C-alpha cells in the first residue's frame, strides 16, 4: 500500500457512514494525495471499490487486519 497522507478512522460506523465520512474527508485533500480509511464494516469490501468507480478516485491499496480493513484511496 502507498503511504497515506491522511488517515480516516471509521471504526464502529456501519453502512453508509464510512462512505459518507470518506466523501467529506477526501474533499479536504489535494489531487494526488492518498486517504487511508480504516473500517470494521464488512460492507466496505464492496462499497469502497464501487464508490471509487462512481466518483473517479482510485483505490490504490487494501489490507485486512484481525479486526479491521484498510482501504487506500488516491484523490484524482
Active site residues: 15
Could you identify the residue written with the cell 484523490? 75
Amino acid at each position: 500500500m502507498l503511504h497515506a497522507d491522511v488517515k480516516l478512522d471509521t471504526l464502529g460506523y456501519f453502512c453508509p457512514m464510512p462512505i459518507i465520512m470518506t466523501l467529506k474527508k477526501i474533499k479536504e485533500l489535494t489531487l494526488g494525495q492518498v486517504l487511508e480509511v480504516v473500517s470494521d464494516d464488512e460492507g466496505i469490501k464492496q462499497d469502497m471499490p464501487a464508490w471509487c468507480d462512481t466518483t473517479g478516485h482510485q483505490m490504490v491499496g487494501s489490507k485486512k487486519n484481525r479486526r479491521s480493513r484498510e482501504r487506500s484511496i488516491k484523490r484524482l
